[in-house]
Chains A and B, each alone.
Chain A
Amino acid sequence: EPEVTQTPSHQVTQMGQEVILRCVPISNHLYFYWYRQILGQKVEFLVSFYNNEISEKSEIFDDQFSVERPDGSNFTLKIRSTKLEDSAMYFCASSGRDRRLSGANVLTFGAGSRLTVL
């Protein structure tokens, strides 16, 4: 069964450092997402990406965050200058339904990348 893969599984970084989290979505999917889960809290939407641009982002997704799809297969989340409160599990997801069609997108999630900021 196709899956979304994320690397690294765990990254430890110093506050103020840049971090790039990588994701390989399912190959024929059109929509890509990042969510995060701070320990003990809800899974929160960060950003969605379609047709090489951000389609929606949350208040959490400020100027410190950026996403790109550099090579048509990888989908990356960059945190420019990490803060302690960025420590969380970051989930990548992808979905395949064309937005012109009715019905709900079904998201396939990766296993997550745990980011620890010291």
Chain B
Amino acid sequence: AQSVTQLGSHVSVSEGALVLLRCNYSSSVPPYLFWYVQYPNQGLQLLLKYTSAATLVKGINGFEAEFKKSETSFHLTKPSAHMSDAAEYFCAVSNTGTASKLTFGTGTRLQVTL
């Protein structure tokens, strides 16, 4: 079985501040890990993915995430938040044996304030 835990259902940062969204995973086999973003009234958009290559993964819109096996973590960061980053962010894991099925976390709503 595999799962992800996202700490913090709501995160608020000031514009220009560091964004850190936490994700810890549990998987009995080497995982594939993903971050998706959902803007209001839109679908889930892939931000970045980890597929056992480089542990530091760069995604769209200046986001990146680092896979840390020792901590079973895949936290999402962005050095400087922008108002347009306000959205819901979902961490997800899939099993390398059944790559199609994603198991999502509960999501973290990011609020960016002036």
Question: Could you tell me the distance in whole angstroms from the C-beta of A21 to the nearest C-beta in chain B?
Answer: 14
B98-A41 in contact (CB<8A): no
What is the size category of the interface that chain B forms with chain A?
20 to 34
For the complex, is A111 an interface residue (Cβ under 8 Å from B)?
Answer: yes
Across the interface, B100 reaches (CB within 8 A) one of A31, A41, A42, A43, namely A31
For the complex, is A25 an interface residue (Cβ under 8 Å from B)?
Answer: no
Question: Contact mask A79-118 → B, CB, 8 Å, 1/0?
Answer: 0000000000001010101010001111111111000000
A56-B102 in contact (CB<8A): no
Q: How many residues of A contact B (CB 8 A)?
A: 29
How many A-B Cβ pairs are below 8 Å? 63
Residue of A nearest to B105 (CB): A42
Question: Contact mask B25-62 → A, CB, 8 Å, 1/0?
Answer: 00000001010100001111110010100000000000
Q: How far is the CA of A93 from the CA of B90 in the complex (A)?
A: 15
Question: Could you tell me the distance in whole angstroms from the C-beta of B21 to the nearest C-beta in chain A?
Answer: 16
Q: How far is the CA of A6 from the CA of B43 in the complex (A)?
A: 10
Q: How far is the CA of A48 from the CA of B43 in the complex (A)?
A: 18
A104-B49 in contact (CB<8A): yes
Q: How far is the CA of A55 from the CA of B100 in the complex (A)?
A: 10
B101-A44 in contact (CB<8A): no
For the complex, is B99 an interface residue (Cβ under 8 Å from A)?
Answer: yes
Q: How far is the CA of A112 from the CA of B100 in the complex (A)?
A: 19
Known contacts A103-B51, A104-B32, A104-B94; A56 and B100 CB within 8 A of each other: yes
Q: Please name all residues of chain B whose beta carbon is closer than 8 Å to the beta carbon of A50 when the two chains form the complex.
A: 100
For the complex, is A75 an interface residue (Cβ under 8 Å from B)?
Answer: no
For the complex, is B77 an interface residue (Cβ under 8 Å from A)?
Answer: no
Q: Please name all residues of chain B whose beta carbon is closer than 8 Å to the beta carbon of A106 when the two chains form the complex.
A: 46, 49
For the complex, is A45 an interface residue (Cβ under 8 Å from B)?
Answer: yes
Residue of A nearest to B53 (CB): A103
A33-B104 in contact (CB<8A): no
Besides A56-B100, A107-B102, 7 more A-B contacts (Cβ < 8 Å) are A35-B102, A42-B106, A42-B107, A43-B90, A55-B100, A91-B44, A107-B100
